[in-house]
Copies of this chain bind each other. A is one copy, B any other.
């Protein structure tokens, strides 16, 4: 196999395209982020990389709380909108149906299949970005994305961001069962 040296590049497949929510200057704001991952199970934690200049960052820093909203593929257009237009210039407080759980500073997007209320537990300065690590305090799901009470990827129909081509994709065909197909 011929290998090509690419230089150090932020290539990871797949990536999500989540909507990070925060209250900024008294209003809900949402930005799109692909640099998001689960960080721990006990307590459940999630990380997201934000640039300091982001409007959302201001809200996360002041309130110590944020939301992670996992969109479905049919929300691609509004997700992209939230990635293009900054809250510095564009009021995004009324583009979604906003709800709250216990954290009144973590605005949740009702339309998204999955939404997490998060409390900041660590911030890690990584120069270009600050890696925000939040404890997931509560997870809400749309009832119609569950099968037998469990999250159903087919119903969630998650939005996938592909770096390089900068395309959004749907989830494709199943190729096998984890913790099973690799057994000796």
Q: How large is the interface on A (under 10, 10 to 19, 20 to 34, 35 or more residues)?
A: 35 or more
* Copies of this chain held together in the complex: 2
CA distance in complex: A129, B137 (Å): 17
Chain B residue at minimal CB-CB distance from A122: B124
Instruction: Check if A178 sits within 8 Å of B153, measured CB to CB.
Output: no
Instruction: Check if B2 sits within 8 Å of A142, measured CB to CB.
Output: yes
Instruction: Check if B165 sits within 8 Å of A153, measured CB to CB.
Output: yes
Chain B residue at minimal CB-CB distance from A138: B8
The stretch of A11-19, A21-29, A55-63 in contact with B is A11-19
User: For the complex, is A1 an interface residue (Cβ under 8 Å from B)?
Assistant: yes
Instruction: Check if A160 sits within 8 Å of B160, measured CB to CB.
Output: yes
Partner of A9, one of B44, B122, B142, B169: B44
User: Which A residues between 57 and 79 are near B, CB-CB below 8 angstroms?
Assistant: 68, 70, 73, 76-79
User: For the complex, is A91 an interface residue (Cβ under 8 Å from B)?
Assistant: no
Chain B residue at minimal CB-CB distance from A127: B42
User: For the complex, is A31 an interface residue (Cβ under 8 Å from B)?
Assistant: no
Give the distance to chain B from A98, nearest Cβ to Cβ, in Å.
Answer: 12
**Binary contact track A107-144/B, C-beta < 8 Å → 1, others 0:** 00011001010000110101111010101111111111
Give the distance to chain B from A118, nearest Cβ to Cβ, in Å.
Answer: 9
Across the interface, which residues of B come within 8 angstroms of A45, CB to CB? 126, 129
Partner of A140, one of B5, B34, B46, B172: B5
Instruction: Check if B138 sits within 8 Å of A5, measured CB to CB.
Output: yes
What 8 A-B pairs come out closest when comparing CB atoms? A37-B37, A80-B182, A172-B172, A13-B158, A81-B182, A170-B172, A40-B126, A151-B164
